[in-house]
Amino acid sequence: MNKTVLITGSTSGIGMATAALFAEKGFTLILCGRRAERLEHLKTTLGKLTKVRTLQFDVRDKNEIFKAIASLPNDFKNIDVLINNAGNAHGLSTIQDGDIDDWDAMMDINVKGLLYVSKAVLPIMTERNSGFIVNIGSIAGKEVYPNGNVYCASKHAVDALNKAMRIDLNKYNIRVSGIHPGAVETEFSDVRFKGDSEKAKAVYEGYNALQAEDIADIIHFVVTRPYHVNIEDLVVYPTAQASATILNKN
């Protein structure tokens, strides 16, 4: 597949599994994240399968993002697919007990980060009247659950931006798809619980959680439909889950 795909948050979880699958399928990859060692490892391993370029930036830093995208050489700069995946929850507490730094992190990374990266990549797509943007939302962008407050707000914003992008970019033939997973076993809960691995592990115990590869497979399906097909919005649960709060644990 001779298409160039930029994946944010490719150093872990859903982004990393998506990078691996897209490498196998022969896409040219631009892999982004903050952890340099992991980026280097991806370049070495996936570089055996396809062309890989890594960009190290924090999605909160718009200057870094614009510099990184502008630095892409000719054989990487025509980005066909942008996968806005970088994001996390920080903390899980009531609104009255919430940590303001956690709130800043979630709004800055999940919402503003997605906007900054999109802003840097969009001219490449609008100029060519072609492109595909996949926004990774969450069931937290469709429902609100106890203690999820600001994470849910950030993912509701992603849901709104996903719809807004589809409207504004329609005349440029740019497809925009939102994918909204339920529970996926990644480093997500390690980040949410700030390295408390017992608490993080417990989130995925007693049922078969989705794996990052399940979401990668869906992202691949979505972006490989014929050009006249745009899957607008997709909610994906593990079979044990029926809503943000209903989970059938053993």
- Binding residues for ligand NDP, rule: CB under 6 A, are 8-15, 33-35, 58-60, 85-88, 109, 136, 138, 181, 183-184, 186-188, 191, 212
Closest CB to ligand NDP among residues 15, 131: 15
- Residues 40 and 113: their CA atoms lie apart, in Å, by 22
Q: Which residue is nearest to ligand 8X3 (CB)?
A: 138
Tell me: does residue 5 bind ligand 8X3 (CB under 6 A).
no
DSSP-derived pairing of the beta strands 81-84 and 131-136: parallel
Cα distances from 192 to residues 4, 88, 89, 211, in angstroms, run 31, 7, 5, 17
Tell me: does residue 244 bind ligand 8X3 (CB under 6 A).
yes
Residue 89: CB minimum distance to ligand 8X3, A: 6
Is the separation of the CB atoms in 23 and 48 below 8 Å?
no
E-strand stretches of 37-173: 52-56, 81-84, 131-136
What contacts 24+ positions apart, CB below 8 Å, involve 138-141?
Answer: 138/180, 138/181, 139/180, 139/181, 139/182, 139/235, 139/237, 139/241, 139/243, 139/244, 140/89, 140/244, 141/178, 141/180
Tell me: does residue 174 bind ligand 8X3 (CB under 6 A).
no
Residue 155: CB minimum distance to ligand NDP, A: 7
- Residues 234 and 39: their CA atoms lie apart, in Å, by 29
Closest CB to ligand 8X3 among residues 23, 139: 139
Binds 34: which of ligand NDP, ligand 8X3, none (CB < 5-8 Å by kind): ligand NDP
Binding mask 85-104 for ligand 8X3 (x = CB under 6 A): ----x---------------
Binds 178: which of ligand NDP, ligand 8X3, none (CB < 5-8 Å by kind): none
Interface residues with ligand 8X3 (CB under 6 A)?
A: 89, 138-140, 148, 183, 188, 244
Which residues have a catalytic role annotated? Answer: 151
